[in-house]
Amino acid sequence: MAGGGLLLLGCGGGGAAGGGSRAPTPRVPPAGPLAQAFVLESSGVPPDDTTTTFAARASRVVLLRRGAPDNSLFAEIRIAASDSNTADSTTLSVRPRPGLYGVELSASGHAPGRIRLTFSYGLHFVAPADARERYGSNLVFERTLFVARLEGERLVYLPSTRPGSDLLSAEVDGPGVYLVASPR
């Protein structure tokens, strides 16, 4: 694959975003219009789209990295083994959202097991216009971020944890568009 956008690891072991403290972020805000949110912007070389197929009964970790020369971690997607004893496979496609910390996940074949999505935003963090004015500093703004699911023109904020510095993680419901965002 050109661009080196995917690294697929087997089961077990801790990953870059899998260990560390799971201290929760502040109280989860209610769902609201996308227009009433600050979505975390991203600079630098974006990751490539990627697709992988694996046995549904096996767990997987997909590391989505930015393109060369950076190759830094953008997102980690941990997929638990399916509860089924099926021999079927799952195909997972990941499409980063240009200029944003966000991905679109789609799946075909057997439904994947639980999915934990972790964004790594330390190197290419760009606070949206007006976010510093609203929150007073990048640090305060950063502490108000959540992983959110985009449903039409509405964001549903998910309970999110911080497994490490500059990492934001949430269990997601499966296929959909997920963004790193904060209420305005």
pLDDT tens by residue, 121-170: 988 888 887 998 999 988 899 999 999 999 999 999 999 999 988 999 99
Which pTM does this prediction carry?
Answer: 0.83
With vertex at residue 112, the alpha carbon angle to CA 146 and CA 76, rounded to the nearest 5 degrees, is 40
Dist CA 132 CA 139 (whole Å) = 9
With vertex at residue 61, the alpha carbon angle to CA 52 and CA 55, rounded to the nearest 5 degrees, is 50
**Residues 44-51: what's their mean pLDDT?**
90
Least confident of 2-6, 36-40, 107-111, 116-120: 2-6
Whether the pLDDT of residue 7 is over 70: the answer is no
Query: What's residue 102's pLDDT?
Result: 96
Residue 113's pLDDT band, with cuts at 50, 70 and 90, is confident
CB-CB contact of 143 with 160 (8 Å) = no
Query: What's residue 9's pLDDT?
Result: 37
Residue 33's pLDDT band, with cuts at 50, 70 and 90, is very high
Query: What's residue 18's pLDDT?
Result: 43
CB-CB contact of 114 with 56 (8 Å) = no
Query: What's residue 87's pLDDT?
Result: 63
Whether the pLDDT of residue 6 is over 60: the answer is no
